[in-house]
Homo-oligomer: A and B are copies of this chain.
């Protein structure tokens, strides 16, 4: 964890995996929801477009985070699931989730502070 050695390429690498608007959401669903088909993910993430979903899934696949299984059958069927390696991201996703949750509260409290700063301070609700 040295500060000066060629800056922290490690955190950048991690960001390289997580960067991309939909990747954390995809990982979240695959981690906690298990194997999913393409359209299942699409339903779970209604605001994503096919293009972007495909895009992000491909990148995660190339990075060995998720696995893509194609079934050679007439109604195409493709499944996505976490690789063992991808599962190592779970603690990170979990921390991100928890930090995000507390961050949301933090911001809400800041709002309140601004709202009540003119009211009586004795009211400690």
Chain A contacts to B: CB under 8 angstroms: 1, 3-4, 7-15, 17-19, 24-25, 28-29, 32-33, 44-45, 64, 85, 88-89, 91-104, 106-107, 110
Contact = CB atoms under 8 A, between A and B. Distances in A.
A95 B92 contact: yes
Contacts of A13: 100-101, 103-104
B24 A99 contact: no
B11 A100 contact: yes
B104 A96 contact: no
Which 10 A-B residue pairs are closest in the complex by CB-CB distance?
A10-B100, A13-B100, A14-B100, A11-B24, A14-B96, A8-B28, A10-B101, A10-B97, A11-B96, A3-B32
B32 A1 contact: yes
B85 A106 contact: yes
A18 to B, nearest CB: 7
A42 to B, nearest CB: 12
Contacts of A4: 44
